[in-house]
Amino acid sequence: MSGAPHPFLEELIAFATPEETKPDLLAARSAWFEKNGEVFDEDRQLEQRMAGFLEHYACDRVAPHFGKTPARQRYELSLQEDVPERAAAFRSLTETIHGIFEVRRIAKGEVRLRGLFSGITWDVTERRQIVGLGVGDVLEARLLPFAGHLHFSASYCFHPHEAARQIKAEAKRRLKAGVADEAAFVHECAVRSLKTERYRQIAVEKIYDFTPRK
């Protein structure tokens, strides 16, 4: 099996979002954006944020009408209906990795990431040059395993270079304190990322100030 996982992810999202389950989709969307910050038509992050929600809906969230994630449901159907190569592609979408990462190295065709909470290092195949991304930066991403490699999905959330030190320090503090809820931290940072675009008159370092308010 060669190529990239993105066509299979698009097929999975279409499978996960039929018209007859639209009420569930809308309820999940409302809950997702309540945690991550609501986006509007004029937001530059609109497309990536919508992609992030749909990937979460298809890969992570247990659908009440399936009793499992759509990714797992699609994979189980694929075992019955598809050739082994397609079944393997859908299985890989049950194993995606979503989190917040530090960029450790950028090489030709590859980006090395380290999970801020897991400490695990991942080498991600990326033939494009990601504009503005540098070593030491922090991003939220979903990694898609496929044919022995990892690939980025479409739902990056880049955090400003000026905030990287604060994000890494706060993740380390939460790990040490035993309150390491990565998903909650990802949501919190996503909200702050939106604020940096909407309130450009406020310093990035102030927006990413994690000091508890008294």
- Amino acid, res. 188: E
Helix (H) / strand (E) element for 130: namely: none
| Sheet strands (E) in the chain | 97-107, 110-115, 121-125, 138-146, 149-152, 157-158
Q: Are residues 24 and 85 in the same domain?
A: yes
Q: Are residues 203 and 102 in the same domain?
A: yes
Please give the model's pTM, rounded to 2 decimal places: 0.93
Q: Are residues 169 and 129 in the same domain?
A: yes
Instruction: State the CB neighbour count (10 A cutoff) for residue 68.
Output: 12
Contacts for 60 with CB less than 8 Å, ≥ 6 apart: 69, 96, 98
Domain count, the chain: 2
- What percent of the chain clears pLDDT 70, i.e. is strictly above it? 98
Domain that holds residue 86: 6-92
**pLDDT bracket for residue 1 (50, 70, 90):** very low
Residue 42 lies in a domain: yes
In this predicted model, what pLDDT tens digit does every residue of 128-177 receive, in sequence order? 777 778 999 999 999 999 999 999 998 989 999 999 999 999 999 999 99
Q: Which of 29, 59, 92 is the last residue of a domain?
A: 92
